[in-house]
Structure 1
Amino acid sequence: MTAPHHSERMPVVEIDRAALAANWALLAARNPGARTGAAVKADGYGLGAAETARTLHAAGCRDFFVAWAEEGRIVRAALDALTHPDDGTAPARIFVLQGLEPDSVSLHLDAGLIPVLSTPGDIAVWCNGLKAAGRRAPAAIQLETGMHRLGLDRADAEAAADLAASGELDLALVMSHLASADEPTDQSARQQARFLELAALFPGVPRSLANSAAVFLGSEFGFDLTRPGIALYGGEAGPASRGVLRPVARLTAAILQIRTANAGEAAGYGAAAPLTRDTRIATVGLGYADGYHRAASGAGVAVRDVRPGPQAVVAGQRVPVLGRVSMDLTLLDVTDVPDNALVPGDRAEFFGPNMSIDAVANAAGTIAYELLTGLGPRVERRWV
């Protein structure tokens, strides 16, 4: 089958396989007494779940977390398709975080997925589904410890513990999620104490609490399994992670045209960028339809009224985004780049090794997670 054509001028996100593996290894070394998993939900944080899972599996990861069973099926197929022999450790486990409905029990069983049960309804669906199928299979329990998102409270956890003690519920993991691990508050300590209290209802069952930021909080948060996400992909996860993670994704797009506009004119939609000098403008083939947010505009949107907009890198030099980001195009002010250093067809880096994704996200009033998971289907994923 012929591969779909992708114009060389279209946006590309280059994904550094070695950096992804190195970040996982660094995070694993922070808690050597625990297994280190990986969140590969949202299509591997926008980079491609199948290739992300294969890369992390080769690095040694054996525990993967997705949001939906359909995502888990993709990851399972990717791991089953590996041609190199396993290293003798247990097969990969794939946890599905957002509960389940009756129709998905068979999918979990067929693909070897482990549902994370967060409500009494989840538990009933799983137990009834197993009875109907005449099967036994492991599940995980999520506990509510203070985030008030998903999880069992004390009474429901006690009921689940009774089912586990009777053998009706086979548990592979008890877990919870920290709300503020990347912020200097005491909420994480309170949640950890609550987690210890509730997890004690499930003696002998492995425990998991740490997300990316909590990996850097200390071994008391590591328990038996950590579940990093954004840190794997090079995004910051609290102050302790700064400067130690390798950038994984590099978003570039081609310059389509370079022109000079006169002082006193304005650039882009809404004439949002009045020009105070004669300005060389590079028009780049990247816009909010590709996931480069309109909030990343240089001017003309609400968040840009109060702070400078993001920059990009061309010819080794940082340049500002000019005016409003549009659906397919972004303007860059390249006046200060030497004339002979830049021609149409050259590529601008919007985040990557030369332009921190967290700096771009902060300037756009968002977070690195959103920039990665929002990358559109027109952006080619290119593993390097």
Structure 2
Amino acid sequence: MVFLPNELVDRILSESVLRKRDYCNIALASHDFCALARRYLFEDVTVECAYCTDESDPARALTDTARRRLRFFRTHPDLAALVRGAYRVDGSETFRPGDPDYQVKAIGRIWDAIYTVFPRLEQVWDEFLVPPSTLPACTSTLRSVRSLWLTNEAFTWLRHCRNLRSLNCSFTSEGAPVLPSPLPFSLEEIRLDELYGPPTPFLDLVRLSSSTLRSLDLCGRLAILTDFSGLPALETLRLSVCGGQGRADPAHEQSLLRASLPTLTRLKTLVVVQHFSWRRSGGVFDVIAHPDIVALFPKTLERIECDDEPTLEQCKSLFGAPAGTSVRALGVLGRADVMRNTTEARRWCQERGIAWRKARLG
């Protein structure tokens, strides 16, 4: 029997393409491998909830699976300490108002239970995330908070998250916090979800993070920020376009890109997605595969990621300039209901050293 050295197994385990089943198989191979695989097996946990058939009721109830999962980790604190990510999701299970079989709780109470069980969380996500009622133990270890409405109450919690590096947030027209300078944390990634009212609070957050910000998602609101010269570390920009559908104006979107691209002097990755209301095949490339847009791509650009698939002609417009292109990878993601033949476009890109792969849009 051939035994692999632990160092090699550890490198294999660190590959992002592995699935939980792969980790389980490696863990079952030997006692030593099991010890190496544990932190990957218990790296994150999903807490699934049932929701009320009355959609106006914001309360949730833990499913049986979620209750058993939390009970398991509560009785195995050594494994709970390995969990780095917690995600609360609404499943397919529903309950009627007043159903005695469900222990209904506010979402904040459910998160209080999650924080109690997992003391060393680094990432939390919830479509309706609310700030905790008291500072949990993981406040000092949190690095990523996703889908949070950034209010005064929320920032009262975040100001204690000194290791926070990634924030996915929304802003309302009322209750936006007055941010201190300097911020109590150094953000490397900011993703805008929703914006109601003036963009000032969001722009303040970006400005106060300018020296460390490496990734920015404007959520289809390129018009609020077209000068990126004040963000010297920015390497990844995510945009949402409409591609000429509905009331969208592709010429206006292109004019915003013309203003923005010359200020992105260190950009390595450009992610462009279509607004969910106006998706159509080729819409992204109708906007970006334009000669005077392509001419403004920064020389540092290495990857373009899109939730779309280009035609051969769009690929030629995007990468066929006589001066060549710095782009080495194109990430694409076609619609399941549209089977577009991309064989020629893919071959054309690959012949020119441009890798064609499935887009990473997360």
Instruction: Decide: shared fold, TM above 0.5.
Output: no
TM-score (norm 2): 0.31
User: Larger relative CO (CA 8 A, sep 6+): 1 or 2?
Assistant: 1
When the two structures are superposed, what TM-score results if normalisation uses the length of structure 1?
0.30
